Structure 1
């Protein structure tokens, strides 16, 4: 479709039609430019760690990557989301791991290994949605849907335009639905396979515990919101931010560790009833947990030693403080 627009634009410009063709050609070229394939870019927000900045963390990731049958990442981006993800950027295929510090801080060492195993497992599981072709198709279709979206509270002329756009807009929605149906099962399979790598890397017990931690993400967000938005002398000045930053992550970890097993069991039942999931691309969390428990129990292939954990903590110390101060100064709205 993009190539057809470029060809149509060139034809209109060559034909001219007294200047009208040039104008139409420019419009079609602009459309083609917005629909062009794009290479993913690293996240702009967060703090970046290359191999030389965090050798201990990168070495842990390399160990987990070996278990997953792939290579490590080139860049680690640490931000304030209660989440983690991987992506491939640029022409050279730079691998980027985005690591939400709140999620990292609420996990125990082997649960962190399981988290890394899950994320790196996405490089090994053949999820076509993460590939260049399917991702570009999604982006192009979403761009078309944006261009053809109906005008709200339309004037009479806009009503006519909405009616003209009705057929192509319906076609776009239909193709999006078909593409989603064709790839959703692969995406779900990709998450289950990634969970199996989490089990191999950190142990089955750690991977199951990771599922439980995902069920209490909302509680962790509440803790962060309470602490980050807590009034301190009526305003958030640098001194207050520094004082609160000293304890923010310890408070978060302490609150998570204080949750009793009976509350986890209640969350599991509620999560199963409501089909809790990380996002729409993930299977329900309770099904992921049940699948892990149904498979033969696996020991940890990567064990994080106390020394390794301490070195990683030292590498993240500055960013832990900076992100905590940012949250306290600006508040947490996650």
Structure 2
């Protein structure tokens, strides 16, 4: 769910250079003359006239292919439309599921069935060629080839080993307090909990399904988890599990597996960059199938884009209802500064590798790593959060097109007014959860400081 606007700090990314710590703490705005604070750690900007608010120049909406730019444009348009539509719903009304509905939902279902139908057709055709009794010849060989192709292109439900990628894993028996919290949050949003929890060093979180029985794995990025307060952590869990409570189309078995299958097809048909005649001939023969697969993938992506964005809004609603409005809005703000958490982690990695400052940090630099990241992010002032919120609004969209614009998501969370939290994570319970995560978190810290690999 990460939606970063930009990393905090530096010299303004091409804008006004911030003063070094210890220099003047105020200056005149070059545009309007207003006195503005100066902090050597952050971009210098003017809240009165907006000067230098976004020195990066709105890069979130530029670059990439024409398809990527189209997706960002549609994402912004859908995000605004959905924000308006959801605002018309009565306060406190049950949130509708965001599964297939309307023409786009029907198209997505038809496309998904067509994708899976091709695999079934390959199986049927291959078996027919093998057992039709045509005797020796190329037919049985062709049948075997078609069956092998069907196996390669089959819908994939994933496996725990593949989505784990070697990450430390927690199960119910080893983390009863954590899983009790997850079950409580899941019950509050109207779904079931998860089967395993995976930890990595990233500044993100997600829930993935695996296996035919669609078990669920929660992946927690410790760079994000560490900077959240207790209720913001509840909001994070409520958001991720909320995707399943509201029937997110892309998380469903039918459409989700079709998207993964098309991704596999696209990989199989990718052009060979070799320079031999056979390579070039293969590229020519696969050109039309490659274009067809690419077209189907774009169609299915666009057919589910609006539903996916609606699911994000509804997941945000689940987060606000579960953890409270203030915590859900705070979570959105923390997502704006995940770039800072990554910067601190990278600096810690360099320090650990070069052994700079080890006398001040005892023998193991992994000890207290997540706490140091939390301390650095906690030092980000409210003025910087306000700037980043304005940047999100100026750019309209930040990272990927499955999420509505960040500023609209925050407004959606807060426009319902204050509501009490359904799930309250008190200090003692939070400490118990942290204790269960401690050993795995230490393992992740040592691994990332050694290898520099965030996930």
Calculate the TM-score normalised by the size of structure 1: 0.91
- In the alignment, does 2:425 pair up with 1:304? yes
Checking the alignment, whether the CA contact within 8 Å between 1:277 and 1:283 is kept in structure 2 is no
Offset, 1:24: 2.1
- In the alignment, does 2:131 pair up with 1:10? no
- In the alignment, does 2:150 pair up with 1:35? no
Which residue matches 2:373?
252
The number of equivalent residue pairs is 331
CA distance in 1, matches of 2:123, 2:287: 24
Which residue matches 1:152?
273
CA distance in 2, matches of 1:53, 1:92: 23
- In the alignment, does 2:245 pair up with 1:127? no
CA distance in 2, matches of 1:70, 1:5: 36
Look up the SS of the partner of 1:301 in the other structure.
Answer: coil
Checking the alignment, whether the CA contact within 8 Å between 2:244 and 2:251 is kept in structure 1 is no
Structure 1 stretches lacking a partner, 5+ long: none
Checking the alignment, whether the CA contact within 8 Å between 1:199 and 1:206 is kept in structure 2 is yes
Deviations 1:151-187 (A, max 9, x none): 3354445444433333322222221111111111111
Which residue matches 1:221?
342
RCO higher in structure (CA 8 A, sep ≥6): 2
Offset, 1:268: 1.3
Which residue matches 1:199?
320
Offset, 1:232: 5.0
The change in CA–CA distance for 1:187 and 1:232 in structure 2 (over 3 A counts) is closer
CA distance in 2, matches of 1:85, 1:166: 35
- In the alignment, does 2:143 pair up with 1:25? yes
- In the alignment, does 2:202 pair up with 1:86? no
Offset, 1:243: 1.8
Calculate the TM-score normalised by the size of structure 2: 0.68
Which residue matches 2:307?
186
CA distance in 2, matches of 1:298, 1:277: 28
Checking the alignment, whether the CA contact within 8 Å between 1:241 and 1:325 is kept in structure 2 is no
Look up the SS of the partner of 1:219 in the other structure.
Answer: helix
Q: 1:46-195 to 2 correspondence within 5 Å?
A: 46-152=167-273, 154-195=275-316
Structure 2 stretches lacking a partner, 5+ long: 1-117
CA distance in 1, matches of 2:387, 2:445: 31
- In the alignment, does 2:386 pair up with 1:269? no
- Of Structure 1 and Structure 2, the greater helix share is in 1
Answer with 277-286 or 100-109: which moved more.
Answer: 277-286
CA distance in 2, matches of 1:233, 1:225: 12
CA distance in 2, matches of 1:241, 1:31: 56
* Dislocated runs of 4+, deviation >6 Å: none
Deviations 1:16-70 (A, max 9, x none): 6754223322221111001112223223232222222111111211221121012
Superposed CA RMSD: 2.3
CA distance in 1, matches of 2:215, 2:363: 35
The change in CA–CA distance for 1:16 and 1:162 in structure 2 (over 3 A counts) is farther
Checking the alignment, whether the CA contact within 8 Å between 1:74 and 1:94 is kept in structure 2 is yes
CA distance in 1, matches of 2:424, 2:134: 69
Deviations 1:165-224 (A, max 9, x none): 333222222211111111111111111100001001111111111011111111110101
Look up the SS of the partner of 1:37 in the other structure.
Answer: coil
